[in-house]
Chains A and B, each alone.
Chain A
């Protein structure tokens, strides 16, 4: 069974601090995606990483895919209150059905 485990589950920080969220698995994934979800909304895709060792940057967000394609991380520099939300990593299931397997999510609260 493919599982994705995220850590930490909850994070409460002050504006301006840096943070890293981790997404780990014992299974190899062909790609991993990161989503951000706000209360009352569906997840919104931030990035897809496909190649082992790949690093992608989206403004203050840096995403990395592990060399073995079993893990990924999201690093936020100088967090802002607008970064508050639920961050989800997700990867395609092994069967060819388009199924996405999600981690349990990391709830981030950035206090002004």
Chain B
């Protein structure tokens, strides 16, 4: 139990659909990051939110969007799903502007696009 909870744990969607993934933290960190991890690969940075504002973005198209709420929970939204979006999506708290400090990851949401 890491204190970072993601839901749902597994999800199957059809190509072209939209999906919303959720993340909450027991510690109430004001920084949350989202990563995409393809099978057998390391996680890839999607974006980070700090105090409800996007604070940085990786090489992902605009159909990947996010929200952070006043209680510091977060959502990742993906529109117009493609087959290549099938992956494990990880939420992480901590780090902030000091990425030398460690991150706490949730267990992830396994998304399968068919």
Where the two chains meet, the residues of A that have a C-beta atom closer than 8 Å to any C-beta of B are 4, 6, 30-31, 33, 35, 40-45, 48, 50, 88, 90, 92-93, 95-105, 107
Query: CB-CB < 8 A to A88: which residues of B?
Result: 42-43
Interface size on B, residues (CB 8 A): 33
Q: Tell which of A41, A97, A104 touches B48, judged by Cβ atoms closer than 8 Å.
A: A97
Contact call A98/B99, Cβ cutoff below 8 A = yes
Question: B56 contacts the other chain (Cβ, under 8 Å)?
Answer: yes
- 4 smallest CB-CB distances across A and B, nearest first, come from A97-B56, A42-B105, A92-B99, A102-B42
Contact call A95/B56, Cβ cutoff below 8 A = yes
Query: CB-CB < 8 A to B33: which residues of A?
Result: 98-100
Stretch from B66-74, B77-85, B90-98 that touches the partner: B90-98
